[in-house]
Amino acid sequence: MEMNKQINILLVDDEEPIREALLLLLKNADYRISSCGLGQEAIKHLENEPFDILITDLFLPDITGIDILKKAKELYPVIEVILITGHASAETAVRAMKEGAFDYITKPLNIEELRVIIAKAIEKQQILSENISLKKQLRDKYEFSNIIGSSPAMQKVFSRITKVIKTDSTVLILGDSGTGKELIAKAIHSNGPRRNKPFIAVHSGAIPENLLESELFGHTKGAFTGAIRDKMGKFEAANLGTIFLDEIATLPMHLQIKLLRILQEQEVERIGSNKQIKLDVRIISATNVNLEEEVKKGAFREDLFYRLNVIPVILPPLRERVEDILPLVRHFLAKYCKEMDRPLMNIAKEALIALEIHKWPGNVRELENVIERTVALTEGDHINLSDLPQDIIRSYNEQEDLPTRVTMRGVDLVKVLTDIELKMISDALSLSDGVKARAAALLNLNRTTLVEKMRRLGMDG
């Protein structure tokens, strides 16, 4: 419901003096009130236009207010219904509330009480409407189509997660820092059957070890010094929804054991309690380290690794999806120009080439930070190479250092051409995930020609 929207109220009472009195007393610039005296008339009104509030007498000559309530809820699930009667009883009140009435008021009417009830009903509708809108925004934001990546590497990721969203399988997201692991976790949750339930993210590495157990599993009052009240843990908070455990490799060994029990038994025990709390939680975890190596070193439990690694999703670093850089740059430019109330900025060709050449050790997060900073600091509406950070300019200049002109000092033509071939073949292989046929196509070569060049240049493969 829009905050400034006029509230549409339907008033139903077979006593005309009461209807007229209520129409007069409820006169308000924010209310548009329609009225009628019979239940069937009310249903026709409801079928012809939407109403926010229905105020109806419980006992009418043709049908009851409960009948109208049921029809109203069928047509408009979010409508709030206030029932009026001169025959108050606990039984009718209970029945009305069970059928979905917002409140119940008796005759003779207290108009101030009715005004308060209407105001509360409107407030409830506004909160509900805002929640629905926020959930829709979240779903829209985390639609797979809104996650930028048309490269073959990202298409593999989309193909994998599309297959798992409708399942409850445990997912392990693997990728370097800044590749968007939490974004993918939210997309899996927001597109799956638990979309309307909680999504709780826990960044294990950011929570001090002495607090982590309580954060994850909760505690009871008096369980330790400072535990002045019972506390619900993140797993309980995520019940019926999804918990995202980022930086899972940092989880201490004793908490790995507790996590393994949750995965096996689907129940949690708060610190200081022996009561088991049943859970129904989907677990998505993520890490930027090689968990198999951690298992070999004895730093991570092998049985927990296999429980978490039911469906692995591997996110490629940005340097392996160069074709996604331009759309990402456009996306972040639009985002930060809007946030900073600036016209949409253009970017010079050499600046874009510099962004594509950069190795991006911080991946998409680093690219986003660079664009945000550049938008904030650049004068005018055009981003040039000189507006970019120095390390990116330096990478571009180093790339341009290959001699392209012959001077009196001479040039080693064979070495220059060899260096160019090495660089271009390496780039093509990187863009094509090592698939030689695809790399050859990018270079406009036959596959056999590419393989021969690689052999001649001493490149592996």
pLDDT of residue 107: 79
Is residue 31 a part of any domain in this protein? yes
120, 137, 154 - which closes a domain = 137
**Exposed / middle / buried, residue 94 (Cβ in 10 Å: 0-12, 13-18, 19+):** exposed
Mean local confidence (pLDDT), 65-90 = 83
Give the three-state DSSP class for 233.
coil
The CATH number linked to 344 is 1.10.8.60
pLDDT tens, position by position, 371-396: 999 999 999 899 999 999 999 998 88
Report the range of poorest mean pLDDT among 41-45, 101-105, 198-202: 101-105
Higher pLDDT, 172 or 420: 172
- State the Cα–Cα distance between residues 207 and 233, nearest whole angstrom: 13
Q: How confident is the model at residue 142 (pLDDT cuts 50, 70, 90)?
A: very low
Which two three-digit tokens encode residue 81? 């219904």
Residue 293's CB: how many other CB atoms inside 10 A? 11
- Whether residue 452 is predicted with pLDDT greater than 70 in this model: the reply is yes
**Average pLDDT of span 29-47:** 89
User: Does the structure show a pLDDT above 60 at 263?
Assistant: yes
> Considering 294, 316, 338, which residue would you say is the last residue of a domain?
316
Cα–Cα distance measured from residue 328 to residue 88, given in angstroms and rounded to the nearest whole number: 64
Structure confidence at residue 421 (pLDDT): 84
Same domain for 183 and 246, yes or no, is yes
Residue 405 domain-assigned (yes or no): no
Q: pLDDT digit string (tens) for 82-127?
A: 988 776 555 676 777 778 888 888 878 888 888 888 888 888 877 7
Q: Which of 221, 224, 200 is nearest to 210 (CA)?
A: 224
User: Which residues constitute the domain of residue 450?
Assistant: 413-456
Report the percentage of the chain scoring pLDDT > 90. Answer: 39
351 and 310 both lie in a single domain = no
Ranges assigned E (strand) in 199-348: 199-203, 242-246, 267-268, 277-278, 282-287, 311-314, 346-347
Q: 274 and 154 in one domain?
A: yes
Check if the beta carbon of residue 32 is closer than 8 Å to that of residue 58: no
Round to whole Å and give the CA distance between 200 and 235.
8
Best CA proximity match to 371, nearest among 396, 344, 398: 344
Q: Which of 85, 105, 137 is the last residue of a domain?
A: 137
Q: Is residue 199 part of a domain?
A: yes
409 vs 20, higher pLDDT: 20
Residues 357 and 227 in one domain: no
Distance CA 271, CA 292 (A): 30
Q: What is the pTM of this model?
A: 0.60
**Gap between the Cα atoms of 250 and 205, Å rounded:** 6
Based on the domain organization, do 252 and 282 belong to the same domain? yes
CATH of residue 149's domain is 3.40.50.300
Task: In whole angstroms, give the CA distance from residue 319 to residue 323.
Answer: 9
Rounded to 10 degrees, what is the CA torsion of 182, 139, 284, 269? 110
Domain annotation covers residue 232 = yes
Residue 2 lies in a domain: no
Judged by DSSP in three states, 173 sits in strand
State the Cα angle at 267 between 238 and 186, rounded to 5°: 25
With bands split at pLDDT 50, 70 and 90, how would you rate the model's confidence at 138? very low
Q: Which has more confidence, 2 or 156?
A: 156
Q: What is the mean pLDDT of residues 227-247?
A: 91
Fill in the DSSP letter of residue 308: H
Q: What is the CATH number of the domain that holds 129?
A: 3.40.50.2300
| Overall number of domains in the chain | 4
What are 286-334's pLDDT values in tens digits? 999 999 999 999 999 999 999 999 999 999 999 888 888 988 999 899 9
| Of the listed ranges 30-39, 211-220, 278-287, 452-461, the one predicted with least confidence | 452-461
Give the type of residue at 171.
V
Q: Are residues 72 and 119 in the same domain?
A: yes
Six token digits for residue 445: 């070569």
CA angle 217, 188, 185 (to 5 degrees): 55
**Once rounded to an integer, what is the mean pLDDT over residues 245-257?**
94
Q: Are residues 160 and 181 in the same domain?
A: yes
285 with 324, same domain: the answer is no
Concatenating the DSSP letter of every residue in 67-112 gives HHHHHHHHH-TT-EEEEEESS--HHHHHHHHHTT-SEEEESSP-HH
Which residue carries 């990546």 as its tokens?
A: 149
Give domain status of residue 191, yes or no: yes
Q: How far is CA 303 from CA 170, 235, 247, in A?
A: 14, 20, 18
Q: How confident is the model at residue 361 (pLDDT cuts 50, 70, 90)?
A: very high
Q: Are residues 193 and 149 in the same domain?
A: yes
> What pLDDT, on a 0 to 100 scale, did the predictor assign at position 461?
57
Same domain, 301 and 182: yes
User: 81's torsion region: left (phi>0), alpha (psi -120 to 50) or beta?
Assistant: beta
256 and 146 in one domain? yes
Rounded mean pLDDT, 329-348: 92
Over range 176-182, report the average pLDDT. Answer: 92
Confidence category of residue 408, pLDDT binned at 50, 70, 90: low
The verdict on residue 49 lying in a domain is yes
Structure tokens belonging to residue 404: 């392209």
| The CA-based dihedral angle spanning residues 226, 206, 246, 148, taken in that order and rounded to the nearest 10 degrees | 140
Same domain as 106, residue 27: yes
66 assigned to some structural domain? yes
The count of C-alpha atoms lying within 13 angstroms of the C-alpha of 163, restricted to the half-sphere facing its C-beta, is 9
Q: Cis bond leading into 61, ω under 30°?
A: no
Q: Is residue 137 very low, low, confident or very high in pLDDT (cuts 50, 70, 90)?
A: low
